Amino acid sequence: MEADAETESLRAQVEGSEWLAAKVAEQMAQMARTEAELVRAEADLEALNSSKVIRYSGRFRRALRRARRSLHQPADLGLAPAPPGSGPPGLVPPSAAFLEDPRYQTWVECYDTIDEGARAIIRRRLAGLKDPPLVSVILPVFNPPEIYLREAIDSIRGQLYENWQLCVADDASTAAWVPKVLAEYAAEDPRVIVERRSANGHISASSNTAIGLATGEWIALFDHDDIMAEHALALAVLALAEHPDAALLYSDEDHIDDDGQRDHAYFKPDFDPVLLLGQNYFSHLCMLRRDLVEAVGGYRVGYEGSQDWDLVLRATEQIRPDQVVHVPHVLYHWRAHPGSTASSLSAKPYAAAAAQRSVTDHLERAGQLGSVLTIGGSSFNRVQWSIPDTPPAVSVVVLARNALRMIRCIDSIMIRSTYPDIELVVVDDGDRRPPLRQFLLERSDLTVVREYGDVSDSALRNAAARAARGEVLCFVHDDVEVITDRWLEEMVGLLLQPGIGATGAKLLYPDGSVQHSGVVAGIGGTTGNVHRLIDRLEPGYFGRAMLAQCYSAVSWACMTVRREAFEQVGGFDEAHLSGAFGDVDFCFRLGEAGWRVGWTPHAELIHHESVDFARESHGENAVRFARDIRYLHTRWGRLLGADPAYNPNLSLAHEVFSLAWPPRVSYR
């Protein structure tokens, strides 16, 4: 046994060296993709510059030169000495990737600036609408700075779409100039309707007053110190024309300062009911059908600070998911100043309590059991789902690869798990060394499924699923190690929510950086793990690394699946995929069948990253890997550039939510 263990250890060291070489090759390939993207961006900018459409600032050119210098620094590989087999050796988390991108202002000039040609195209498209709806923009007002209020109203009056009304409720402002300015605009433009409240009732009551003035089919939410892009209502109405059954619409957004400089753009995913419990990513621009707003009773007093979130949650309860439309353009600019929520959460500390109460109420109305906790330092929520009194049995299926890692994996599951009904199922394909066979013989607490022969990983998992007794199947690699006590409660609790067919966990490298927090289609030409290499405690892109949400796919290194959903799609594909992308294909087929795939950051496991798995770039493995890629593109090509969980304004060359140059969507 000792000799066998020593052999296994030496083998791991050798392949650990192979892993390091492969990681260097991977990073070099990533650098090449980044270089290509920078070249394309520079070419686009030079072409525009030479045509004299846009004159670019020296700041961009300096930023581009800095990017090129940093690109060619060897330190960017993020590699530091580490013992073989310990996972990614000293990889540096790319924290800066989630800070403000200094190129955003230039990106705006290139791809999000309306010129006369764009205006003409948008107006021509608007002219083709058969029955353009009246949009009622509601504007509650209380003592904003005069310049902000004027700019807000002017941004509505300057809309390319002209069939609107601005419904203003002055919430008994104490500044004498407020009613004068409002009266001035109402006299100039009959579409501006103003009502002054006799007493201050705060934003919910004031918003309801504004809704009472509305006669449009649609209501658009607007704040008294923000700015709406001139093409905002136009693109919204054009999107609604393409979705005649729509009931709710939202867009991307950014911040704007007093100098007109824009930053902090949030490029959002398509409708995700799980993410909506953690953050109100709808925010602005948000439009709702007026009859829907009236049906849910408008705003509720007492939810100030998160009143829009509460309204949206109550509205989504009354409609189907396909009635929610996302317009992937920055149509709304939050004003960033010391008193705004856009500037700091501390400006409105009561917002977090109202957010928690809004989501708690929503769960109660929906009959979903769970407690809502505020994530410290934010207004975001974490839902800790409750497990039924009679919890579903969970069969944890482990593919046996290595005795030492198998022992660590099984022990971590047994020690850390607090879930009351677990069956451990180990798959033995008959091609293992004596230490592993001995381990399987000695453990009477394991259900061993023997599937001998030259079969794929997908076939092994399917065989285990047939033999398992659980209503929930939990597939794990033998190189994962559980580090959170309630990991199964977190994954199963999310899995049991309506429409969820599978859930994934947060997988970490041994150094504590993130390996997996959801899979996005199209990154690198195939798929990518977003937030990869950030520290496990970092919030990620607009907090999404610490929020439960839905992705198009999750890793089968740790994946729970409803047996009902598993059997509906026929399990994992044994015919077309030899190993790579088996989890991705399975999740895509779940989505095709109408299931959502959830991911939770509150179930954490260390993934020791399969140091004994064959490298895809060598010999027969390279051939199989190329075949798997071809099948992925043939079967799922439509998803690889249009993942609903990933915005088309974000790059497919990286895993860090960076800007796409150019974006994959245009308003032209």
The pLDDT of residue 609: 72
pTM for this entry: 0.83
Q: How many residues does the chain have?
A: 668
Tell which wins on pLDDT, 245 or 21: 245
Q: Is the pLDDT of residue 171 over 70?
A: yes
Tell which wins on pLDDT, 448 or 607: 607
The CATH T-level fold of domain 394-611 is Spore Coat Polysaccharide Biosynthesis Protein SpsA; Chain A (3.90.550)
Rounded-to-integer distance, Cα 404 and Cα 618, Å: 25
The pLDDT of residue 19: 38
Rounded-to-integer distance, Cα 665 and Cα 148, Å: 31
Average pLDDT for 31-60 = 45
> What are the tokens at 594?
């109408």
Q: Quote the CATH superfamily of domain 129-294+308-336.
A: Spore Coat Polysaccharide Biosynthesis Protein SpsA; Chain A (3.90.550.10)
The domain segmentation of the chain, as residue ranges, is 2-111, 129-294+308-336, 394-611
Q: Which range has the worst mean pLDDT, 281-295, 571-585, 615-629? A: 615-629
Phi-psi region of 563 (alpha: psi -120 to 50; beta: other; left: phi over 0): alpha
The pLDDT of residue 98: 53
Map 578-628 to HEC letters. Answer: CECEHHHHHHHHHHHCCCEEEEEEEEEEEECCCCCCCCCCCHHHHHHHHHH
pLDDT, tens digit, 9 for 90 and up, residues 599-644 = 999 999 999 874 444 445 555 667 788 888 999 999 999 988 899 9
Q: How many CA atoms lie within 13 A of 356 on its CB side?
A: 14
Q: Is the peptide bond before 662 cis (omega within 30 degrees of 0)?
A: yes
The pLDDT of residue 44: 46
Q: Is the pLDDT of residue 350 over 60?
A: yes
User: Cα dihedral sign for 577, 579, 580, 586?
Assistant: positive
